[in-house]
Structure 1
Amino acid sequence: MPRRRASISAVEVAPEIGKGAENRCALCERDVQHLSRHHLVPREEGGRHGPTADLCQPCHSSIHLLLDNKELARHYHTIEALRGAEKLQKYLHWIRRSRVERISNRRSKG
């Protein structure tokens, strides 16, 4: 009797698809190893129990470097608004083409 070739079932493929989606940055949409939780409305501005987004470390640091908490609370409290932020466009263009997983802490503006 001839051997049948094993076929890949949906069950075998699904975990790989799910795994990548779990580690995808909500802002730059890259697959990364580690994510951090970003409060869409900063905790200091009343967003302690509000919605959050999982971001890669470079995106999270860059958001807080380029935008202050009042701007984030008033104008950029959704992922769509953050993606459209003029101050983030140059960064987003760079990071989407990059394989960087971590950047140094750049939160100090001084």
Structure 2
Amino acid sequence: MANAAETVCELCERQVRHVSRHHLVPREEGGRHGPTVNLCQPCHSTVHLLLTNRELARRYATVEALRTAEEMQKYLHWIRRSRVEHISNRRKRF
């Protein structure tokens, strides 16, 4: 049975202690008031590392689409078998 303090990441579907809100359409692409999902920190960082805001808005505006993104497949295969709760913030710097 899961600890009451744990929640589920909506992308990798693992039970984790902490999640953050991810705008499915990034705020910079007009999604400020759009739908959000709860992602664990490793998933949130990896989404922004592998996909641009424009790609997120145009091609991956649902959790289902994110799960099928070719760029995410290797990562999702790894994280689903992992107990990792935190990875260093790996967001691209432009």
TM surpasses 0.5: yes
Give the fraction of aligned pairs with identical amino acids, expressed as a percent: 72
**What's the C-alpha RMSD, in Å, of the aligned pairs?**
1.9
Question: Residue in 1 aligned with 2:70?
Answer: 86
Larger proportion of strand: 2
Aligned partner of residue 22 in structure 2, secondary structure: strand
Give the structure, 1 or 2, with the largest relative contact order (CA under 8 Å, sep 6 or more). 2
TM value normalised by structure 2: 0.93
Give matches, 1:45-64, under 5 Å.
Answer: 45-64=29-48
Q: Shift in Å at residue 109 of structure 1?
A: 5.6
Unaligned runs of 5+ in 1: 1-15
Count of residue pairs the alignment pairs up: 94
When Rg is computed on C-alpha atoms for both structures, the one with the higher figure is 1
Unaligned runs of 5+ in 2: none
